[in-house]
């Protein structure tokens, strides 16, 4: 398996998170409420400015009804 640059992984997460949220017509606030995380985290993730914990990724994936892997898929 090829190693990814962490910045590239952040950009993939940002893109996928934004797309999945938009597909549901959710605001960042809506997603944060569903996932039980702060809206500021959702914003920072979508701007590729945060390193989420596995717990946060799991909560977000569950709220979006996807696998965690789907959040960072290329």
pLDDT at 74: 83
pLDDT at 5: 87
pLDDT at 1: 58
Torsion of CA 32, 34, 73, 57, to 10 degrees: 70
pLDDT tens digit sequence for 6-63:
899 999 999 999 999 999 999 999 999 999 999 999 999 999 999 999 999 999 999 9
For the chain, domain boundaries:
6-71
6-71: in CATH 1.10.260.40: yes
| DSSP label of 36 | T
Helix (H, G, I), strand (E, B) or coil at 48: coil
């Amino acid at each position: 398996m090829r190693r990814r640059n962490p910045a590239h992984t952040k950009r993939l997460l940002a893109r996928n998170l934004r797309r999945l949220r938009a597909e549901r017509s959710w605001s960042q606030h809506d997603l944060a409420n569903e996932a039980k995380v702060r809206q500021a985290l959702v914003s920072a993730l979508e701007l590729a400015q945060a390193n989420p914990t596995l717990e946060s990724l799991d909560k977000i994936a569950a709220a979006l009804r996807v696998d965690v892997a789907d959040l960072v898929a290329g």
